[in-house]
Amino acid sequence: FDTNTPAVYYYTEILGLHGQTVTHRWKLEGKVMQEVPIAVKRSRQAVWSKSVMQPDWTGNWTVEVVTERGDVIEADNFAYSPPM
């Protein structure tokens, strides 16, 4: 994504965690920038969160899906940089 992108959305499908809370943890270069708790209300549920990006938040990002126990069950990476 480039710095003209105002927000980045992260979607995941959660299976088997009904009644629990998962967290989307947004990290820039390893530093936690945002944590979004999401209540899981079904045994199979699509969930999403977003980060409203700032032009100076350039670098490598990771979004982790974290269970209540602290286990990272999924992680994805993206880069946020000035337009080419």
For residue 65, give the nearest of 25, 36, 35 by alpha carbon: 25
> What's the pLDDT tens digit per position in 22-81?
999 999 999 999 999 999 999 999 999 999 999 999 999 999 999 999 999 999 999 999
Q: How far is Cα 78 from Cα 36, in angstroms, rounded to an integer? A: 18
If you search the block for the tokens 């995941």, which residue do you land on?
A: 12
The pLDDT of residue 35:
98
Amino acid at position 65, single letter: V
Tell me the whole-structure pTM to 2 decimals: 0.94
